[in-house]
Amino acid sequence: MLNIAVFASGRGSNFQSIIDSIKAGEIPAEIKILVSDTQTAGALKRAEREDIENIYINPDHFETKKDYEEELLSILEGVNTDLVVLAGYMRILSPLFVKHFKNRIVNIHPSLLPAFRGLDAQKQALDYGVKHSGCTVHFVDQGMDTGPIIMQAVVPVKQDDSADDLAARILKEEHRIYPESIKLIAEDKITIEGRKVKILKEEN
C-alpha cells in the first residue's frame, strides 16, 4: 500500500480525482495527509469532507524557505510518506527537498511538456497558435516542469477558445491521467532510465 501526501494550493479537483480512484479500489494507496500553503484552499475542505488529515502551513511564518521545507519534511516523515503528489501546489520545491524525495514527487502540468512550462500554460498555448495542447504527468526534478514524463493526454485547441475554455478541456484529461499515473507507481510498474519513464506491460 502506497502512502501518499498531497500538496495543494487551490480548489483541489485533481486531489478529488485521486481520492475517488482510491475509494473505487483502482489505486492501492492511501492519502495520509493533505498539506496546503493557502488557508482558504478548497482542497482543505475536500480533505475535511473525506476525513483525510489536513494541515495549513503558512510559509510566511518561517524565516527562510529552508525552515519551511524542513517543517514539511518532518510532517511527511511522520506519516511515512512514499510519494508526494503535487495537485495545484503553486510553490517551487527546493533542490534539497527534491533530492530528499528523489523520483518520489509527481506533478501534473496543463501542457504537452516540454512546451509551455511555468504559469499560464493554456494562455501560452493559445498565444503561440498551436492546434493541440494537453497535459503531462511527470516526476519532479530540480528544474521547472522538466522531470521525466510519465503520461500525457492530447486535446484539440479550437479557433474560438479562451484560456478558460482550453483549461476546462485539459482539466478533464488531468482527472483521467493523474490517477492512472499514480496507479502505475503504486503497482510498481514504472522504471526510470535517464529521462525515459518505462511502463511495465502486463504479461499475457
Is the predicted pLDDT of residue 70 greater than 70, yes or no?
yes
- Please give the average per-residue pLDDT across 190-200, as a whole number: 94
CA–CA distances in Å: residue 134 to residues 8, 72, 174: 21, 31, 8
Contact 139, 106 (CB under 8 A): yes
Catalytic status, residue 109: yes
Q: How far apart are CA 69 and CA 7, in angstroms?
A: 12
C-alpha cell at 192: 526510470
C-alpha cell at 80: 511515512
Q: Which of 109, 132, 138, 175 is catalytic?
A: 109
Query: Which residue ranges make up each domain of the chain?
Result: 1-101, 108-204
CATH among 3.20.20.140, 1.10.630.10, 3.40.50.170, 3.90.1150.10 for 108-204: 3.40.50.170
What percent of the chain stands above pLDDT 90? 97
Q: How far apart are CA 102 and CA 39, in angstroms?
A: 28
Is the predicted pLDDT of residue 193 greater than 70, yes or no?
yes
Contact 183, 26 (CB under 8 A): yes
Contact 151, 181 (CB under 8 A): yes
- Please give the average per-residue pLDDT across 8-32, as a whole number: 97
Tell me if domain 1-101 and domain 108-204 are identical in fold. Answer: yes
Whole-number pLDDT of residue 201: 79
Interacting residues of 149 by C-beta distance below 8 A, sequence separation 6+: 113, 136, 137, 138, 197
Contact 137, 106 (CB under 8 A): yes
Pairing of strands 83-86, 2-8: parallel
Is the predicted pLDDT of residue 59 greater than 80, yes or no?
yes
Is the predicted pLDDT of residue 185 greater than 50, yes or no?
yes
Q: Give the DSSP letter of residue 162.
A: -
Give per-residue pLDDT as tens, 75-117.
999 999 999 999 999 999 999 999 999 999 999 999 999 999 9
**DSSP per residue, 13-43:** HHHHHHHHHHHTT-S-EEEEEEEES-TT-HH
Whole-number pLDDT of residue 203: 55
Class of domain 1-101: alpha beta
Is the predicted pLDDT of residue 202 greater than 80, yes or no?
no
Q: How far apart are CA 104 and CA 62, in angstroms?
A: 25
> pTM for this structure?
0.95
Give per-residue pLDDT as tens, 44-58.
999 999 999 999 999
Whole-number pLDDT of residue 199: 94
Q: What are the respective helix, strand and coil percentages of the chain, to the nearest 5?
A: 35, 25, 40
Using 50, 70 and 90 to split pLDDT, how confident is the model at 204?
Answer: very low
Give per-residue pLDDT as tens, 119-169.
999 999 999 999 999 999 999 999 999 999 999 999 999 999 999 999 999
**Mean confidence (pLDDT) of the chain:** 96
Beta strands in the chain (DSSP E): 2-8, 29-36, 54-56, 83-86, 105-109, 132-139, 149-156, 190-193, 196-199
- Please give the average per-residue pLDDT across 3-28, as a whole number: 97
